[in-house]
Structure formats: C-alpha cells, structure tokens
A and B are shown apart, each in its own frame.
Chain A
Amino acid sequence: MKPNLYQPINSEITDITDESPTIKSYVVVPAEPFKFQTGQFVELTLPGEGEAPFTPSSSPADTEKMEISIMKAGRMTALLHDCKAGQKVGIRGPYGNGYPIEDFLGKEVYIVGGGVGLAPIRSLFLTLVDRIKDFKSVVCRYGARTPEDFIYKKALFGPWQKINGVDIKLTVDNADGQWKGNVGVVTTILEPDDVNIKNAVAVVCGPPIMMKFATLKLLEFGFAAKDIYLSMEKNMSCGFGKCGHCMIGKYYVCKDGPVFTYEQIKEYPKIWD
C-alpha cells in the first residue's frame, strides 16, 4: 500500500494561551519533525470529534513544534477551546501553497490584517523579519474589534514595533477608555502613501468582509490585482483537492491556495461569502 494521505501525525497540545475573549493559542508538538511553509495550513484532528483547517502562526523555522491560534467560531473550535494542555491531537499536512516569499524579495510588503487573521500573518511576519534586509520594508496595518480583541498583544504592542524596517499601525472598531490609537475599521488607517505601490505587494488576511473592503481600497490606491495576496478561508477538508468542499470556481483552495492573488479569483462571484 502507498502511504495513507488521511493518516494524522500523532501530536500533543502542550500549552494553551488566552489571547482574547474569543481566541486561544495552542502549542502543538508533533511526534515527528514537521516542516511547512508560511501560509500553508494543517488539518488539526481532535480524536473522535472531527477535524478543521488552521494556518500555523509560528515560524516555519521551528520544526519541533508549531503554534496555532483558534477563534471560537463553530462546533470544532468550541471543542478545542475546552481542551487542556496534554490533549492528544492529530495533524495532517502541510497543505496548500503558502506565501510566495521569493516573489516579495526587495519589495515593500504591505500587510493588512483583521481579527484572527493575524495568525497566518504572524507566521509570515516572523519569516519576513528573520531576513528583514531582503525586503524593502514590512508595513503592517491591523485592526481588531476592541483593544481587548488584539492577539499577540505583548509582541504587537512592544518588540514588533521596534524592529528596524517594520512599520505597524493599529486600529479598533470600538475603543475603551484606555485606547489612544485610531478608532475605525482597518481600511480607515490605509493611506495611499503607506508604501510605494510600484514596488510593493499587499497581503490581506482577516474576516471576509474586511478582506473585501481592504482589497477594494488597495485597488483604489492603484495596486494591481496580481500584487494583492489573499488568504482565502473556505471549507477545506481533505487538504489535497479531492473532497471538493473548498472550491472557488476551478480552484481548490486547499491545494491551489489558500493564498491567491486577487487576479486569480476576481472573476468568481461570492468569493467573500
């Protein structure tokens, strides 16, 4: 028999961190070294319960363990939120294409994120800053619903902001008394001169509605559709283009994505639904 595509690698959740009221981060240690590229995703199995796709938020440089941030959004994620450290899980993957880092070399990388969309972006960010000199700059614009809803708060409010070559701006939809920054959805902090569009790529990841309006804004700024990279979220189940659930037109998000340029998918209707 050929190797079984559906066999998960036995793994264990070794640590769980509360990031926000709805998001937790999990350290997952697979029984064998696990390689992935930033932006690729894994299928995480909760034994006997089910499986769901997540993009690791950690750097691919660490093959011993990975971090996954999970927002409570449905049945599986609710079950995962009830898990404790020590929980045995399964990992399949990595699947999909990931971010084409080599195409970003020498350019300004304009990252627009929202909510739990910062998870895949964190992995990308860590990969970029690891070799920051290879890129012109990394410009991040990130929004959360309230200050409490930001994830990776410690890094985000501190060390990341101080990295040379990195420019981070944050916003919240609804502020509390403490918040001194911008109030408004993430598109309100996007400015045409944030980056030099002629030598920049944009990476967008977040809730569909935010991705839609961020993409429209970027197009308005003059970004070419081929320079806007979107992390699409669909119902990826098998992970290798067979089960059919994640199709956008002729594409399997699991196999041809999850990272697409807007150019690739703009013709298809309801991509944001």
Chain B
Amino acid sequence: METVFISELKPFLDSFAGEMDLYVPKKTGQHFVFNRYDPAAETGMDFNNIRVCMPVKEFLFPLRDLAAVFPEPVEPEEIKPFAVFGLKECDLRSIDILDKVFAEAEFEDAFYIARRQKMFIVSSDCFEPGESCFCNVIEGKAYPDHGFDLNVARVTDGFVIEIGSRKGREFVGKHSELFTKPSDEVLAERDRIRAETLEQLERNNADMKFDMPIRDIMNKTYDSDVYDEEAKTCVECQACTRVCPTCHCFYLYDTKQKDYFAKMKMWDSCMRMAYAQVAGGANPRKVLGDRLKHRLMHKFVYFLDRYGLQMCIGCGRCVDAEAGEVDIRAVLKKLNEELKNTKVTK
C-alpha cells in the first residue's frame, strides 16, 4: 500500500478544517472519547494507543435517531461529510459487521448508508494493548489492512500514513505539501512496532487457546450451566451492549409532536428482561443466563451462520464497562474447559 510521512500531526489535522468536521480522541479521566477537533485549541487531541471507549456505531447509528415523520414525510437532514481519527483495527471490523446488517441489499437502512458514505476514516495502529484487548483471539490484529481511507502509524520521529482508498488518495493529493516520502528506517520501525504489539497481544491472551472454533465450542456446550453461573454477578446495567461496537439491536417507538408524528429508533439491549416479551407476557428469555447465552450465541454462532462473520471483534469494551463481573473471555474459556472435561469422562 502506498505510504506517506508526516513529522507532526497538527498540520495534518488542521487540513481537515474547512472540508469536514473531524472527530479526534480526547482523554477524559481514564478514558478516551471522540471530540470534535478544534484547530484553535492548544491541545487538539490525545493520541490513543488502543480503541477509545466510544464504539464507532455512534457515528453511523446514533443512540437515538429519527426514523420517520408522518403523515407528511420529510426529507431527512443531509449528512455532511465528517472524519474520524483514531479508529482501530477492531473498530474497522465492527463497521464490516454493521454493514452486513444495515447495508443488506434487500433492506438498506437509508440513514446508516448516508452516514457511512459520508464518513472519512483515519485509523491508527495500536500499541501497548489494553488488559481487556483480545482481538488476536478473534481474527484481529494490532493494525488494519483494509477498511480505512488513511491509516496512521506513530513512530519515534513522526507518523507513517498509509493510503487505503480513493478518497484517501484524493485527500493526500490535495494536501500534498504536508507529506513527504517515508524513509526505509521509519517503515522498518513501524513494522517492528506492529510485530511487537502483536506479540504482546499474544502473550496477554496466551490463556485463550481453544481446541476448536468458538462456534463449535458454543454449539456443543449449548446446555452448559456456565451461562447461569457467569450471569450471577450481572446487574443488568446493559453497559456491555451499550459499548459493544457490533451490538445493533434497537427499539422503535412513536412520539407525538405539535404538527406531526415521529417514529424514533433507539439502541436496545437483549440483556433487558422485557426485550423479547410479547403482548400477553410470553417471554422466551426470562432467565438472565438465557439472555447472556443468547447474546453470545448471536455473536459467535448465529451471526456467523448468517453473514459469515463473527459478531465479536475482541475489543474488550464489554469487559471494561461491566458493572458486574461478567467477562466474555472467562465464559469462552470455561466453555472450552467444560468441553475438554466432558470428552475426558466419555
């Protein structure tokens, strides 16, 4: 892939101003979130080593969104081009997953597609993986190789920028004065950091070795008690689905405005008790452990069966956000263990 080099970030970030809104990572307390970039501010952004805690779905499929206005439909507000800096490889895979759902040929979600088309993606390499990062276990890695317009890799003396799309190339062409050719040394340094980060990920997750694909483990341990056991500390805060970049359940509701009616779309959570309940009260997942099981089966089995992708990216956000102690990694490990033990006894 074609690469260019910059020694400072600020001129690069400033060059977005005037063309589109740019969202950059900013540290608030322990966490990184995305903020709108202000070229005039002294500290424009904080470089994020790993994914920020906000899932990328917030840009494509906001928490609360207008779905329809009636009886007189209105043209939705036009989405202006915008850029997001600092998405990671896991985030890009979460977009692949959301695309499967919202850009599905027969039922394209116009709102999602409009935002998706207007989004300019500046991803960046990871380093120093977080305690909860386990992307390498779920076919991920510490840097992206597709799905971005530009990708930024930090090295000692600057930043190596990879061009990943036509939009990215146009941007670089338009601002060619900012970029130089990267030296072989900086490219070598980037590759060394990438390899080191990957090794670090593998070391951190050395205990997540599975005897077969997760899908098969989960299918074979469907009746396991592990879900009920693990769900014991769940306080139903729904933070796991809220921060999960691939969870995409939503709730439709209607509101009365002064001159019109509006149908709204809001994120929902399959961990919520009444989520699957129908009028009259029937509910196939009254039990918390069943809801946890459904959530994980959806991620590792159902979605994979339907769309050919696992619906977990290994970002670990759910592990960090949990108010209880439910840990998706622990569930998977215990299921694998259980399968191993059953085999031995049989």
Q: Is the CB of B276 within 8 A of A6?
A: no
Chain A residues, CB < 8 A from B270:
244
Q: A193 near B: Cβ within 8 Å?
A: no
Q: A243 near B: Cβ within 8 Å?
A: yes
Q: A184 near B: Cβ within 8 Å?
A: no
* A45-B110 contact, Cβ under 8 Å, with A6-B68, A273-B282: no
Instruction: Tell me the bound Cα distance from A246 to B298 in angstroms.
Output: 13
Q: A103 near B: Cβ within 8 Å?
A: no
Complex interface bits, A7-23 against B, C-beta within 8 A gives 1, otherwise 0: 11010000000000000
Q: Is the CB of A73 within 8 A of B110?
A: no
Q: Is the CB of A250 within 8 A of B301?
A: yes
Contact of B250 among A2, A3, A238, A249 (CB under 8 A): A238
Complex interface bits, B249-266 against A, C-beta within 8 A gives 1, otherwise 0: 111111110000101010
Q: Separation in Å of the A58 CB from the closest CB of chain B?
A: 22
Instruction: Tell me the bound Cα distance from A47 to B113 in angstroms.
Output: 26
Chain B residues, CB < 8 A from A4:
67-68, 73, 76, 110-111
* A242-B75 contact, Cβ under 8 Å, with A5-B107, A46-B254, A50-B253: no
* A10-B110 contact, Cβ under 8 Å, with A52-B279, A76-B279: no
Instruction: Tell me the bound Cα distance from A90 to B262 in angstroms.
Output: 11
A-B contact count (CB 8 A): 123
Q: Is the CB of A234 within 8 A of B70?
A: no
Q: B71 near A: Cβ within 8 Å?
A: yes
* Interface size grouping (class) on chain B: 35 or more
Contact of A2 among B110, B261, B275, B285 (CB under 8 A): B110
Q: Is the CB of A49 within 8 A of B279?
A: no
Contact of B252 among A7, A234, A243, A271 (CB under 8 A): A243
Instruction: Tell me the bound Cα distance from A242 to B279 in angstroms.
Output: 20
Q: Is the CB of B276 within 8 A of A234?
A: yes
Q: Is the CB of A250 within 8 A of B254?
A: no
Contact of B276 among A47, A77, A235 (CB under 8 A): A235
Chain B residue, CB-CB nearest to A11? B71
Give the A interface residue count (CB, 8 A).
Answer: 44
Instruction: Tell me the bound Cα distance from A3 to B106 in angstroms.
Output: 12
Instruction: Tell me the bound Cα distance from A48 to B70 in angstroms.
Output: 10
Instruction: Tell me the bound Cα distance from A240 to B70 in angstroms.
Output: 20
8 Å CB interface, A222-258 against B: 233-235, 237-238, 240-250
Q: B229 near A: Cβ within 8 Å?
A: no
Chain A residues, CB < 8 A from B252:
6, 51, 237-238, 243
Q: Is the CB of B279 within 8 A of A244?
A: no
Contact of B254 among A48, A208, A271 (CB under 8 A): A48
Instruction: Tell me the bound Cα distance from A247 to B250 in angstroms.
Output: 13
Q: A74 near B: Cβ within 8 Å?
A: yes
Q: Is the CB of B280 within 8 A of A74?
A: yes
Q: Separation in Å of the B344 CB from the closest CB of chain A?
A: 26
Chain B residues, CB < 8 A from A48:
254-256, 261
Contact of B284 among A1, A2, A90, A273 (CB under 8 A): A273
Chain B residues, CB < 8 A from A2:
108, 110, 113
Chain A residues, CB < 8 A from B278:
74, 233-235
* A240-B107 contact, Cβ under 8 Å, with A1-B76, A4-B73: yes
Instruction: Tell me the bound Cα distance from A236 to B278 in angstroms.
Output: 9
Q: Separation in Å of the A77 CB from the closest CB of chain B?
A: 6
Instruction: Tell me the bound Cα distance from A272 to B75 in angstroms.
Output: 42
Chain A residues, CB < 8 A from B305:
250
Chain A residue, CB-CB nearest to B261? A47
Chain B residues, CB < 8 A from A208:
282
Nearest 10 pairs of A and B residues by beta carbon: A74-B279, A48-B256, A244-B249, A6-B67, A250-B302, A240-B107, A73-B279, A2-B110, A47-B261, A73-B280
Given pairs A233-B282, A235-B276, A244-B248, 13 additional interface contacts (CB within 8 A)? A8-B263, A48-B256, A50-B254, A52-B279, A74-B278, A88-B71, A208-B282, A234-B284, A242-B248, A243-B249, A244-B268, A245-B268, A247-B302
A-B contact pairs, 19 of them (CB 8 A): A2-B108, A3-B110, A4-B68, A4-B76, A7-B73, A50-B253, A74-B280, A88-B71, A234-B284, A235-B278, A238-B252, A242-B109, A243-B249, A244-B248, A244-B268, A250-B305, A250-B306, A271-B284, A273-B282
Query: Which B residues form the contact surface with A (CB < 8 A)?
Result: 67-68, 70-71, 73, 75-76, 101-102, 104, 106-111, 113-114, 248-256, 261, 263, 265, 268, 270, 275-280, 282-286, 290, 294, 297-298, 301-302, 305-306
